[in-house]
Each structure stands twice: as C-alpha cells, then as structure tokens.
Structure 1
Amino acid sequence: MSSLISDASAVTILVIDDSATMRSCVAGFLRDAGYRVVLADDGFDALAKLDDCRPALVVCDVVMPRLDGYRTCALIRASAGFRATPVLMLSSKEGLFDRARGSLAGASACLAKPLAREALLAAVRQHLAAGALPL
C-alpha cells in the first residue's frame, strides 16, 4: 500500500446501495478497517454527496431504483473531478454480460454478493493503491 493511503482514517469511501442491510454491512467492514464512510441510498443521493465528501473510492450496488449502478458509475466517471476515482461495483449477478456492462460503465472491479469481508477489503486496498484501473 502506498504511503498516500497508509492512514486508512484519512481515506473516505462512498458506499451506494438501496438496501439498508447491505449499506450497514459494507460500512461496518470498512469502518472496522479504519476507513471513513459516507452512505448514499441511491445514485441520485450519491451524486448529491460526491462533491462534499470527495471520496477516494466508491462502492456501488448495481441494482437500484431510479438510477442504477451502471449509470451512476458512468456519471461519476464523466465528472472531471472524479474521473480517476475507483468504483467497485457490487452485484448478485456474475455473468459475462454483467461484467462487460460494468466495464463499459467505467467500473474498476465487480464484486459478487453475498460479499465476503476479506474480498471487499482486498479490492479496496488494491484499487486505492493502484488508482482507477478499468477492468
């Protein structure tokens, strides 16, 4: 891990999920690892909070009402200030089509639900250290 992110408490992660249970679970994993977490319950809520919280990384559910995760990711990537911000997509679908769609939207990685704590933290560390490398 680079020295820029060695202090996890200085790193803000935006978690976007319409499920309160998933938001709580992911936030708990990240907070226990020392990260600062900002929660959003859908894509519109996330976009409204983006400039204020300035996340180093975004964790975004794929299936959400109003604005799905693919479109939310694409909008984050289209924003000049967040073009390089890694976006980890969470999906209960693991098919090739879903991974390709995530890649086209600009996702840095796609993680499968149910989400394992170690898999999430490994992906977070990897993408914070590497920057926003697409799939």
Structure 2
Amino acid sequence: MAKTIFIVDDSASLRQVVGIALRGAGYHVLEGCDGRDALAKLKGDKVHLIVSDLNMPHMDGLSFVKAVKQLPAYRFTPIVMLTTETDEAKKRAGQEAGLKAWMVKPFRPEQLLAVVQKVVAP
C-alpha cells in the first residue's frame, strides 16, 4: 500500500513538480492550494507526510501547521516546510509549531525524496 503525502502550495506548477517526483517514487499524492483548502480536505484519512509552503493566501504555512497539530488524527503527522524563506526566526517558529524539516526552494527532486524517505516511516 502506497504511503500518502499531502502537498500544500498555492503554486499549481510547484504542486505538479513535487507530485511528479513523489508519484514516480511510488507515493500516493493529495493536493491543497492553500492552508484553508488543505484543512478542509483533511477528513481523518491516514496521511504519512504533509509538505507545505509557507507563503500562501487565505492561510499561511505556519498557521496551517498549528491548525493541523490541533487535529487529533494528525497531531503526530510529520510536516515539512518547502519554501523560499531562509529567515532563521521563521525556521524557529516552524520548529516550535511542530515542523520536522525545512527545505528551501528551488530544490532538486532527489533532495525532496531524500527528506521524504528520512521522515516517512518505512
């Protein structure tokens, strides 16, 4: 059974690039166009990892992470931030909110897959 990874990013092209890399590695991929959309799609189904952007309309990535960690079904779901932001204060805020990792765009698909393999339990 394929592991499920939820991509949350307001850029359709980025969701497509990440999705292609993850599907090519055998993962099942769900997509949300921003934090609010993604929260609405989290219905209690098992998600093994969430990959979220930081800067999005309607609900930014940090607000999304905090909201996800309040949901009992997803409290322990690992979340990786995939963003252009490199600010240390934002990284610290992400860690405090419960992030597992922080990746900076642009990225190579093999970099993403290496992080996913470390974070997602076999």
**TM bucket, shorter chain:** over 0.9
TM-score w.r.t. length of structure 2? 0.94
Q: Residue type of the partner of 1:27? A: G
Q: 2:51 aligns with which of 42, 55, 59?
A: 59
8 A contact 2:6–2:31 mirrored in 1 = yes
Q: Residue type of the partner of 1:69? A: G
Pick the structure with more helix per residue: 1
- Paired with 1:68 and 1:85, the residues of 2 have a C-alpha distance of 18
Q: Residue type of the partner of 1:64? A: M
Q: What is the alpha-carbon root mean square deviation over aligned residues?
A: 1.4
1:102 paired with 2:94, answer yes
Segments of structure 2 that go 5 or more residues without pairing to the other structure are none
Runs of 4+ more than 3 Å apart: none
8 A contact 1:16–1:61 mirrored in 2 = yes
Percent identity over the alignment is 39
- Paired with 1:112 and 1:53, the residues of 2 have a C-alpha distance of 28
Q: 1:13 aligns with which of 5, 17, 26?
A: 5
Counterpart for residue 42 of structure 1: 34
8 A contact 1:38–1:53 mirrored in 2 = no
Q: 1:87 aligns with which of 79, 85, 100?
A: 79
Cα distance, 1:94 vs. partner? 1.3
Counterpart for residue 122 of structure 1: 114
TM-score w.r.t. length of structure 1? 0.85
Cα distance, 1:54 vs. partner? 2.6
